[in-house]
Amino acid sequence: MATQSSTSLQDLIREDFLTCKICYDLYVVPKILPCLHTYCQKCLEPLVENGTIHCPECRLQSEAPGGSVGLKTNFFINSLLELFQMKRNKDLEEGSVPTSDHEEFVSKWQKTMAKKATSIGLSPPPNCITWVMYAPKRF
């Protein structure tokens, strides 16, 4: 059976480090304030007033003469986002993320095994549990 531990760790990282506290979505162009709080560039833009910005979390006032575009990009968050995307794409490729894909794989695999079994003169195992016992270890 598939383990959930890696998925929940990913979810934790996404919620704690990669989610903007203004739009509650993954960061888009993460900008870091001098107080080290990070928000999307687009979320900070409306908060810039007369070349200054107040952090929505700690209220620290910072200079932002060029608007939110001029703030420092949080490269740490940016690389985490990239890593996260890469891992997600890899999971999707391997089919280990969506349950429906996994179920489809298992049912295909059962059919293939049933054909093999009958072709060598065995009767196919009667139910899923037996198939799971025969299944490769990662299932």
Nearest-approach distance from CB 21 to Zn ion, in angstroms: 8
Q: Which two tokens stand for residue 74?
A: 């949080």
Nearest-approach distance from CB 39 to Zn ion, in angstroms: 5
Q: Given the complex with Zn ion, which of 49 and 101 has the nearer CB atom?
A: 49
Nearest-approach distance from CB 71 to Zn ion, in angstroms: 12
Distances in Å between the Cα of 12 and the Cα atoms of 16, 32, 133 are 6, 21, 32
Q: Given the complex with Zn ion, which of 20 and 77 has the nearer CB atom?
A: 20
Nearest-approach distance from CB 123 to Zn ion, in angstroms: 59
Q: Given the complex with Zn ion, which of 43 and 77 has the nearer CB atom?
A: 43
Which residues are registered as beta bridge partners of 48? 53
Q: Given the complex with Zn ion, which of 18 and 20 has the nearer CB atom?
A: 20
The DSSP string of 89-128 is HHHHHHT-S-HHHHHHHHHHHHHHHHHHHHHTTPPPPSSH
Distances in Å between the Cα of 124 and the Cα atoms of 68, 98, 103, 108 are 64, 28, 19, 14
Which residues of this chain interact with Zn ion, rule CB under 5 A? Answer: 20, 22-23, 35, 37, 40, 43, 55, 57-58, 60
